[in-house]
Structure 1
């Protein structure tokens, strides 16, 4: 029988595809009542993909391994090592010997083939099998691209496998922009960098001559907002990812702007602006430069984030005397406080699913990455350390990435990720230190 391995908040979910159920029950969807985290990761096998051509052998092995690494990294799946295999897959079209895979308790089987044509044209195809039912899950898929793009094709295969088994969209074919940090704590050099979600293919977008903060992707992943101190005061820039060209957002003389974030349609930027010692939220049409003030209070309003439908904004404010979270209409209006626990709340960001808000919480000398419902209920800490801050959501709302800093004169900032249940805490590989991550949408 399928393990109840999906991790989520207390809820119910109906899946149209099941894995490891008796054949007679396959027609009916499995209704899983999800009330806790991982019981046992689902065991799967991903033998080396078949090389259909003499030059594709290493790529076939690398792609199969990256697919397995993506799935295992979620904490929902457990790879069965090839040393346990009874069968070997030597042809993509050969029938699967399900009894051999059942014998090693593989509940899912991923097979694939890779061909490399002249000119570096690469084709990757795969199939996914429900071993205990003895059937294929969905139809086989094929991806074609350049040899240099083999990692993206592997991530796409993993996304498809993940989606067919869990019923959720994947998040492997995505990128993360972050602040790369080098040097000692008292002379830290910072520059913007972009990488694959797993830390590969790092590209630097700015130099380290000035402080950069809070990069944020556009909804299509082609632009990045960030704050720079290169003029001596914080100002917001928009950077084109492909060309690395940038421009500064218009602002009034004598003001400071920071903490920007795109609206879901990518046409508007909401941000904080300080003028005359007062900090309020504004929004700006990114094409015309026209701005509108959204709050007017003697307090500090910052860190705004849109709801997925663009109708509301969550932000942090100290109008009650301490940092708390508030929600208001996207066009302004009276904010409603949603945080009422002990401690200080900041850096809120709305889940792409729309059901949760992640945030940083400081309480009793510890920092936490936490989540709550959009009405402030069901608050839950996911992490706890000397300094955890700045959450960002994976494209499917399953995983949160954040900054963790160690204490002391030699303290260092690193990127970590955690599942929304608080399980599967993992350090994200980066070149040197890293902070302020922002996850992109899935790539096209």
Structure 2
């Protein structure tokens, strides 16, 4: 694998060369006041929780009437799945519950929950009024018998899953001291067909795989989608009219428009943190340079200029620096420069070639793909290049993207084809904690690649 890009870019080359007041529209939340609702000292040490997940009981929410009870069961089910999938919580089996959900919603008996091993407990009540829901939620410290959080949500009934994600985020933050990441989406490339003639469409889904939809029809291959900070726009690379160019996709209108006035191929787009510009690579001859395009004026500002391939730019969270990969030193490595193109310095020095760098939203890490000895790996390092750690290794795995809290990475893995016609080949999304544990596959209706995680939606 090298950075040399053919005139018609392949998928592999493209990746290695390009690489609570109002919390949401229609959802209102307010605190359920309680003297103990601001209890101190309840935050769990997240590093300890890594090997000792928090036992939490999540009974169905109480509700008057069959419809309210159904929403209560479904909301609790989504919360339970979210917390279990994080690897940091261990939901207690419901068969062990002693107190009923209805009784717990009135006032939980702490001893009934302690005896089954729960350290935390959620209770709640759902009121269904026509096409609207009111959901009351409370989080309890079972050991101290105190309420840690009380919140009520009102929303259209169709948004019941979002309410569940928002509650999951509240629990995550209250128990772990870090923002959650459940009220988010992933955009990715949905793949189908033979390996040598893949159909590649933009697709989007909630972080748990629900509410899936295709954004493009596959008439033109798409690659490397990236979210705008508002989560309402996507930049991606398209082969419309067989010209590989960066396009913008508006999630509200479905409209697409080409970005920039470049004469050749453009690739590997990434929005600036303020959402006002897009960094991308533009091919001119055998070289690739990094530009920033202002979205309002469409003016182009060139940041690199040389005989190398400079690709896959990604801003730091404060917008002051850009990480990218380049072969300027003779091999494919990672570099960091100031946002104006100055002060370029190499940061990768491990054994192998590096690509697809992405800055953590917390600013503390840069994730990357590394290839060495025919093996691929997903890893992280500090922005100065120190502290490099490999999180997962395998055959052809690429494209890391951070959840908005910087705690979890998504990427994709490929499996080997069993024969020359590509039989047995597949590509699937996965996620892993930045500590290197809890790797799991993310379910999609087709093969999948090139994931990008949205900011929090609320």
Q: With structure 1 as the length reference, what TM-score do the two structures score?
A: 0.91
Other-structure match for 1:398: 407
Pairwise CA distance, 1:53: 3.6
Other-structure match for 1:41: 53
Structure 1: state its 5+ residue gaps.
1-22
Other-structure match for 2:231: 221
Query: Does the alignment pair 1:310 with 2:319?
Result: yes
* Matched residues, number: 416
Q: Comparing 44-53 with 349-358, which one deviates more in the overlay?
A: 44-53
Q: With structure 2 as the length reference, what TM-score do the two structures score?
A: 0.88
Q: Which has the higher contact order (CA 8 A, sep 6+)?
A: 2
Instruction: Write the deviation string for residues 18-70 of structure 1: whole angstroms up to 9, x where unpaired.
Output: xxxxx9xx756879594x77222111100111013442121110110110110
Other-structure match for 2:176: 166
Q: Which runs of 4+ in 1 moved over 4 A?
A: 26-34
Instruction: Write the deviation string for residues 124-177 of structure 1: whole angstroms up to 9, x where unpaired.
Output: 121000000110113x11111112111111000111011100010100000000
**Which residue, out of 199, 208, 224, partners 1:198?**
208
Other-structure match for 1:298: 307
Query: Does the alignment pair 1:416 with 2:427?
Result: no
Other-structure match for 2:218: 208
Structure 2: state its 5+ residue gaps.
1-35
Q: Structure 2: how far apart are the matches of 1:52 and 1:443?
A: 30
CA contact (8 A) 1:50 1:114 kept: yes
Pairwise CA distance, 1:179: 0.4
RMSD of Structure 2 on Structure 1 (CA): 1.6
**Which residue, out of 155, 177, 183, partners 2:187?**
177
CA contact (8 A) 2:44 2:176 kept: no
Q: Structure 2: how far apart are the matches of 1:403 and 1:31?
A: 31
**Which residue, out of 312, 318, 337, partners 1:328?**
337
CA contact (8 A) 1:37 1:423 kept: no
Query: Does the alignment pair 1:73 with 2:90?
Result: no
CA contact (8 A) 2:43 2:176 kept: no
Larger helix share, 1 or 2 = 2
Query: Does the alignment pair 1:137 with 2:148?
Result: yes
Pairwise CA distance, 1:89: 2.1
Query: Does the alignment pair 1:102 with 2:111?
Result: no
Pairwise CA distance, 1:349: 0.1
Which secondary structure state, in structure 1, belongs to the residue aligned with residue 230 of structure 2? coil
The 1:124–1:299 alpha-carbon spacing in structure 2 relative to 1, beyond 3 Å, is: same
Q: Structure 2: how far apart are the matches of 1:90 and 1:389?
A: 47
